[in-house]
Amino acid sequence: MDRSRLEAFSDGVFAVAITLLALNLAVTGPGHGSLLDKLGRQWPAFVAYGISFFTIGIIWVNHHALVRNIAVVDRTLLFVNLLLLLFVVAIPFGTATMADYLTAGGQDARVATALYAAILEGMSLGFLAIFEWTLRDGRTFQPVPRAARWAMRGRFYVGQVPYLIAFVVAFISPPVSVAIIGLVAVYYVFERTPSTPGSRPGTAPGPAPGGAADTGSYGSDGGPDQPRA
């Protein structure tokens, strides 16, 4: 199993999951009220679509920033990666459930939003597990220096907090919980992580919805990356 295989399969799963998100936008056919009313009533579906689309997009960006630095692929990594994908694939389900029940109010809205936050937190933990896997010596082309490990770990663990907060807040105010999840996506889209000291810009991943990565700006020759000494 070489790294490119891992990337190709993960890319495929990300691409299908992100596209399935739009299935929940579907409106029923003519005959039960005006189309404008129907579209208006399902505004949560549109909001949920935007949030989940960029959340999956960010995790895709960060996944590759992290994976491209990996020098050796073992079975543990493959299954940790599957754990991440298990939650990514569940995002369209969580998104649809949240969107369907957000305006229902009461306990149902709380449960649906908590479920959504829980799936995103699961995804975030899966990403954290891949990050932890990369820390062992010899697994990456460009290891995080020992001195910087705890600082970086700190950023990844702090990155778990927003979804945990969103999960708790879901039981108090579902709309606020969704707003938090949306703000996390906005934050990571605009974030510009400074590079880790001693690392080549663009290869040091930082925290995100599971670790935002600074992919920097560097040539893309489409060829294989060479190990760097």
| 56-95 residues near a copy of itself, rule: CB under 8 A | 57, 60-61, 64-65, 68, 70-75, 78-79, 82, 85-86, 89-90, 92-93
- Would you say 178 and 47 are in contact if contact means Cβ atoms under 8 Å apart? yes
Q: Which of these segments, 124-132, 161-169, 174-182, 209-217, binds a copy of itself (CB under 8 A)?
A: 209-217
CB half-sphere exposure, 191, CA atoms < 13 A? 24
Mark residues 154-173: x for contact with a copy of itself by CB under 8 A, - for none.
Answer: --------------------
Number of residues that bind a copy of itself (CB under 8 A): 82
**Is 34 or 146 the residue whose CB approaches a copy of itself more closely?**
34
* Cα four-point dihedral sign 131, 2, 74, 87: positive
Q: How far is the CB of 146 from a copy of itself (least distance, A)?
A: 21
- Would you say 14 and 58 are in contact if contact means Cβ atoms under 8 Å apart? no
**Is 49 or 147 the residue whose CB approaches a copy of itself more closely?**
49
Hey, is 207 helix, strand or coil?
strand
Burial (Cβ within 10 Å: 0-12, 13-18, ≥19) of residue 38: middle
Q: How far is the CB of 106 from a copy of itself (least distance, A)?
A: 9
User: Does 116 engage in binding with a copy of itself (CB under 8 A)?
Assistant: no
User: Does 218 engage in binding with a copy of itself (CB under 8 A)?
Assistant: yes
138 φψ region: left (φ > 0), alpha (ψ -120 to 50), beta (else): left
Q: How far is the CB of 144 from a copy of itself (least distance, A)?
A: 18
Question: Minimal CA–CA distance to 170: which of 97, 92, 219?
Answer: 97
User: Does 39 engage in binding with a copy of itself (CB under 8 A)?
Assistant: yes
User: Does 225 engage in binding with a copy of itself (CB under 8 A)?
Assistant: yes
User: Does 196 engage in binding with a copy of itself (CB under 8 A)?
Assistant: no
DSSP 5: H
